[in-house]
Amino acid sequence: MQNELILFYSHHTFIYNIVMRTVAIDYGTKRIGLAISDPTGLVAKPMPTLKVKSFADAVGKVFQIIKKQQADTIILGLPLSPKREETQQSIQIRYFAQALRVANNIKIEYWNESFSTIDAEKSISKGTKRKRKNIDSEAARIILQEYLDYKRNPESKPQIAMPHYDNILI
């Protein structure tokens, strides 16, 4: 049975398929940006940025959020070099993904996050001080919105095949 959200508005009926939530992560060793999809899988919204003290602290805090939000998919921003090669940070993110996978057997996909922080800075440069402190979560929101848009329309962002990467969309 498929879950549906039915909205009635002024003689119109809108039916949306309910999908499990997707969480995007902009991983950092001190701060982790988070974003979550709405129940329809159409819109991404930022969540509060996490401050973490260690790798284990990061895995534990993110695991709790995934569990609480009942997410079924994680999108991890993967910072590739300009030549689309692995970086030291992307290797660290893959270790983080593996730890999350072991902790709760969740589906994890990688999304090329190149320029997401720059786009986030532009997006909130005129915002409040509180919004500027959430730059990492705004970057995660951008990553997730690109992913959601791509899932609805695969032509919206070209997918480049890279055989040595697992589940990477760029």
Residue 116 forms part of a structural domain: yes
Residue 58 forms part of a structural domain: yes
The model's pTM is: 0.74
Ranges of the chain whose pLDDT falls below 70: 1-19, 114-133, 156-170
Residue 55 forms part of a structural domain: yes
Residue-level pLDDT at 161: 31
Query: How far, in Å, CA of 138 to CA of 148, rounded?
Result: 15
CA distances from 108 to 41, 104, 144 (A): 16, 11, 13
Write the CATH number for 55: 3.30.420.140
Residue 52 forms part of a structural domain: yes
Residue 10 forms part of a structural domain: no
Residue 113 forms part of a structural domain: yes
Residue 4 forms part of a structural domain: no
Query: How far, in Å, CA of 148 to CA of 37, rounded?
Result: 8
Query: How far, in Å, CA of 128 to CA of 33, rounded?
Result: 17
Q: Which of 79, 63, 81 is nearest to 71 (CA)?
A: 63
Domains identified in the chain, total number:
1
